[in-house]
Amino acid sequence: MSAGQDWTTRTAAELADALAAGEVTSVELTQAHLDRIAAVDGSAIEGVHAFLHVDAEGALAAARASDERRAAGSPATFLDGVPIAVKDVLTTEGMPTTCGSRILEGWVPPYDATVVARLRAAGLPILGKTNMDEFAMGSSTEHSAYGPTRNPWDLERVPGGSGGGSAAAVAAYEAPLALGTDTGGSIRQPGAVTGTVGVKPTYGGVSRYGLVAMANSLDQVGPVTRTVLDAALLHELVGGHDPRDSTSVDQPLPDLVGAARKGATGDLSGLRVGVVTELQGEGYQAGVQARFTESLDLLVAAGAEVVEVSCPQFVHALAAYYVLMPSEASSNLAKFDAMRYGLRVLPEGVPDPSAEEVMRATRDAGFGDEVKRRIILGTYALSSGYYDAYYGQAQKVRTLISRDFEAAFAQVDVLVSPTSPTTAFRLGEKLDDPLAMYLNDLATIPANLAGVPGISVPAGLAEEDGLPVGFQVLAPALADDRLYRVGAALEAALHARWGGPLTPPELPAGLDRREGASA
């Protein structure tokens, strides 16, 4: 193992401590991760393929600036100098942002998303942009127009989605930290199937300004890390009110890092934990269920009281989600019309095409099948005469799901379930069966509909396939600190049992990395 690889396996908190102690520079850390990317990320053809764009030059420049600040005795933040990867759905000034779509190929935004601006201000070098299902539509990252990301635990399998790139990059030690976005589970489900920690904060807890929206009322930006403490550190750094996002909550975040540290002591006495009846049993893989039950026992051992809680409306969550999300998406994606930026395709055989004909040809060529499927669904659901039956009805279901959460949180402090019903499936396995693909998000969607926060913590490997399983914790809106307390306690108990964090198998290195190479 090279010295570089050594740094890449550390947690962000450890790296920050090492920087503070002068054991390493940000340039060394950043270079170590760039080397790791060069070795294992490969391309659409082979390797992990977590990155769509690597910005070595920009990252190293930021690292040098960080080292200068530290040398002057004035680091910007605790994480100053720790590199990070950013999902390609967040705008980055001067760095391509494609959302995994052909229609944005080559687009370089003139502005930073608020969370990206906060990363830069905090001194974190941005390694690059991570792969994702096109416009965050999918649960496997196979819907990326630039080829799939592969799961570092088994390169024949998907890393989950839509944020498979961020999760795989963190799992494969290509980045200690990453940002993802979660509309129906796109942070938590990839976290579960890659053995990483993923947090969807309370809706409004982190600014969405600069997040290219799939479904504005459901989207949230959140951390993807290897430990619960790292997630809390990153969450505190990017979270908090932003006047550019009207839906952002105008009040201070709870003490998330404090909650994570407190949880890590392993004491959960007095905590009431509710197991959601509707989010287990049929459809859940046996090995997933077994790891989930084992984690529950650990929570009890830590002093928590575990009860079963029913949320009867959750069974309608998937259906409501697949009306609301495409409705909003169909409108959001209308702006991609070839008039101002991105791809422009001229229709073949039309000598003097009108703006409308250019729009049609571009959208036909630039959007993938899943995107088109959702635009059609959403357009239909919003059409006059169907609105009440679909969009209106789905909004009612959404209200009922929120009431289920309210009732449940009147009885317990947190709710828990497996994050995903199964472990990582094989590439291509569900690509032709959209409904089977949608079922991956069964347990994660209710939180998005109600705006409550959720975390997925690695809970071990399933017996039958040796692949990671995620344990989901949900808390009431604005009580994100509970996720970190419970998550850190569970993590501490599991690490004690395993003798440390789970480590994926060695990856083939020395791959040919071709920027933008497609499958």
Name the residues annotated as catalytic.
87, 162, 186
DSSP readout, 398-461?
HHHHHHHHHHHHHH-SEEEEESSSSSPPBTTSSTT-HHHHHGGGTTTHHHHHHT--EEEEEEEE
* Nearer Cβ to another protein (336/405): 336
Q: Whole-angstrom Cα distance, residue 214 to residue 208?
A: 11
Tell me the backbone φ, ψ of residue 180, rounded to 5 degrees: -130, 180
* Nearer Cβ to another protein (8/97): 97
Q: Whole-angstrom Cα distance, residue 484 to residue 253?
A: 13
* Residues engaged in binding another protein (CB under 8 A): 90-91, 97, 99, 104, 107, 109-111, 113, 208-213, 215-217, 243-247, 327-328, 330-331, 334-337, 339-341, 355-356, 359, 379, 382-384, 387, 391
Least Å from the CB of residue 195 to another protein = 30
Q: Whole-angstrom Cα distance, residue 445 to residue 182?
A: 9
Q: Whole-angstrom Cα distance, residue 221 to residue 109?
A: 18
Residues present in the chain in total: 519
Least Å from the CB of residue 286 to another protein = 39
Token pair of 232, please? 């809390």
Report the phi/psi class of residue 216: left, alpha or beta, with left for phi > 0 and alpha for psi in -120 to 50: alpha
CA angle (484, 486, 489) in 5-degree steps: 100
Least Å from the CB of residue 244 to another protein = 6
Q: Computed from CA positions of residues 107, 111, 117, 120, in that sequence, does the dihedral angle turn out positive or negative?
A: positive
* Nearer Cβ to another protein (323/443): 323
Query: Is residue 496 within a helix (H) or strand (E), and if so which, with residue range?
Result: helix 480-498
Least Å from the CB of residue 175 to another protein = 21
β-bridge partners, 454: 200, 474
Least Å from the CB of residue 209 to another protein = 5
* Nearer Cβ to another protein (290/341): 341
Token pair of 249, please? 């909550």
* Nearer Cβ to another protein (352/432): 352
